[in-house]
Chains A and B, each alone.
Chain A
Amino acid sequence: MTDTPLLELQNISKSFGSVQALTDVDFEVRRGEVMALVGDNGAGKSTLIKCIAGTHLPDSGHILFEGEEVHIHGPKDAARLGIEVVYQDLALCDNLDVVQNMYLGREEHDRFHRLKEPVMETRTAATMKSLAVTTIRSIRQPVATLSGGQRQSVAVARAVMWNSKLVILDEPTAALGVAQTEQVLDLVRRLAQQGLAVVIISHNLHDVFETAHRITVLRLGRNVGVYERAKTTQQEVVEAITAGKPTKVSGIPSTGAAAAT
């Protein structure tokens, strides 16, 4: 993992009126890597994600995607780059089945707008198989009949199916039980194994340590540090979240600021 990061944010600042949500924040994620983004409430995690997703435009700073500077003005720009965000509410239609949800708004159709169900079903099945989502008995059952973990899997699979390179998961396990959480964490690891860059936002450090390769800690809208999972402890990360000092002095990302180096 020594190549250029897939996504690199440099000196991102964003304010809403008098509230400074982000101050000179750096962030990066590489291909095949799960990068966790952690921080207490109000640390700026959501704002940072929205800057990547195109929902917010940063006031200053640079966004580099595959080494080139990009300007993301909306969700469509993000999707064009291959960035997909799975929000907490999943945005699934309960009354539609798995295939229909996977293709929501992007249905395969001929020039008479007739749906090509076989194409969609085949590709959905293939995607599900490649992600080893095997607990769903039939991809033709309505999403309403699925468990929380299965629903999360569908939402993630949908994000992955569109040739995405970076998948951002917002609190993917927040509403799940133990077994279902494990199921989703497995899925997250598989995404990285398939070469995707994954950003996972979570309050649950157990989940973070289960999946992430590196952990970016934000506090009060500033970088505290980037920790490598293998070289840090939950205790250290908790301290960084609750009492960490902003470590950034110049524009250089402070990887392993505390102990990792």
Chain B
Amino acid sequence: MSATDVQVVGQDAGPPPEEAVPGGVGGLLRRGVDNLKSGNLGVLPIVLALVFIVVFFSYRATNFFTAENFGNIIIQMAGTTMLAYGVVFVLLLGEIDLSVSYVAGIGALTVAELQRPGSGPALSGLIAIPVAIAICALIGFAQGTIVAKIGVPSFVVTLAGFLIWQGVIVYRLAVPGSIIIQDRWINYTGSYYFSRIAGWGIAAGITAVYALISLSSLVGKLRAGLAVQDPWLVGVKIVAVALASFGTVAICNHASVQGTPLGLPLAAVIIVFFLLVLTYLAKRTTFGRHVYAVGGNAEAARRAGISVARIRIVVFMISSAMAAIGGIILAANVNSVDTNFGGGTLLLDAISAAVIGGTSLFGGRGEVRNAFIGGAVIATVANGLNTANYNPGTIYMVTGTILLLAVTLDTIVRRLQVRAGR
């Protein structure tokens, strides 16, 4: 994972500069101070950390900084990152969802069950995947309703979900032990590579969509006669997104396994697709605005006429639906679902990814791109430590340390905010 890539995509999801303060370096600096005051440290520290991690492992392991491994990291981060995307929304509300890992397991189990040939329904993955996502969204609806309507703390509801859905997976798989996934559509999510040409086309498409969104926003502002700070920054960001997209495709197209060229993994497209869609949902729609409002001050949101319960329920549905997608990708990575699916560090990796990236546990503060960067950090650390032949225990210790540092930083910044606020 190249440093420029992460830095750039990290910035792309953010809102365009909107403050009517003077432009130039002074304006940027002032905006930085404003952000710091409001407890928004941005993605800079974690991006720097990622750069450091990449440099470190490139130095430690000869086969880390290769095109092939770049593709590996993308595929390895995809599943966890999907879960983390959903977790960001839950954290924005100031809630928690501990059930995502086993809801992911339910998603994986559902597709595995539906595609099972022989005694199973042997459905195509194209049907099985939407059904699994819908079932998990229903789980989210149930959990969210208990939280929002009855008022049971989300920690308890989703902890119960954690146990219940784990139980369902173990119960179902107790006898066969595992279900092999043979459907090609499902397995594609973890193992499909685009051709070189298609890769370039996708890079162009992502750049075009990003440019269209940010330029239309810019034009809207200019037309309304609003002051736009640093219009050149919009251009810089578009160029950066283009560089990241084409750079990623260039590296992936360079990769090959035993002479067979690989290309851009489908997983990369899934990651970026949901990054863009969910960021749009969070930042540019009334729903997203209300999520931030409820997370910032639920009472104020309620008095403003926002249906707090509805927002909470929908967010838990998003969380579970994203978990389903992540679960399907994780299952596709190993072409099977077994009784241990959803266990291990999946849950904590997903929450850590969101939090490491800068999403606050206290609600109201965070962005979808945080999960993207956090997911990249966690996958890169795990991949690097494996590649460099470290003891597996080291992975947990290092990830734990990064998590602690990230949240400590977040807490310090938050205290600064309280002081600056009044």
Contacts and interface: CB of A to CB of B under 8 A. Distances in A.
A binds B: yes
A141 B300 contact: no
Contacts, number: 109
A115 interface: yes
A144 B226 contact: no
B39 interface: yes
B20 A95 contact: no
A146 to B, nearest CB: 8
Contact of B220 (A93, A118, A137, A148): A118
A90 to B, nearest CB: 8
A109 B285 CA distance: 8
B306 A105 contact: yes
A95 B220 contact: no
A210 interface: no
A145 B221 contact: no
Contacts of B292: 93, 95-96, 100
Given A95-B38, A105-B304, A145 B225 contact: no
A95 B224 CA distance: 25
B297 interface: yes
Interface in A135-192: 137-142, 144-148
Contacts of B296: 93-96
A90 B297 CA distance: 11
B223 A118 contact: yes
Nearest to A145: B37
B417 A109 contact: no
A140 B18 contact: yes
A257 interface: no
A115 B280 CA distance: 10
Contacts of A95: 38, 292, 295-296, 364-365
A114 B220 CA distance: 13
B362 to A, nearest CB: 10
B421 A96 contact: no
A70 interface: no
A119 interface: yes
A169 B76 CA distance: 56
A180 B240 CA distance: 44
B260 interface: no
A115 B20 CA distance: 19
A117 B228 CA distance: 13
Chain B interface, DSSP helix/strand/loop, else mixed: helix
B285 A142 contact: no
A92 B19 contact: no
Contacts of A96: 289, 292-293, 296
A105 B293 contact: yes
A122 B226 contact: yes
Interface string B247-287: 00000000000000000000000000000000000001111
A5 to B, nearest CB: 27
A107 interface: yes
A221 B292 CA distance: 41
A105 B285 CA distance: 12
Nearest to B21: A138
A235 B217 CA distance: 58
Given A114-B285, A140-B18, A145 B34 contact: yes
A140 B31 CA distance: 10
Nearest to B303: A91
Contacts of B289: 96, 100, 107, 115
A147 B21 contact: no
A121 interface: yes
A106 interface: yes
Most buried by A among B39, B221, B293: B293
Contacts of A125: 226
A121 B226 contact: yes
9 contacts: A93-B296, A96-B296, A104-B301, A113-B286, A115-B284, A118-B221, A122-B224, A122-B225, A122-B226
Given A95-B292, A117-B217, 9 more contacts: A93-B301, A96-B296, A100-B289, A100-B293, A106-B304, A117-B220, A138-B21, A141-B38, A145-B37
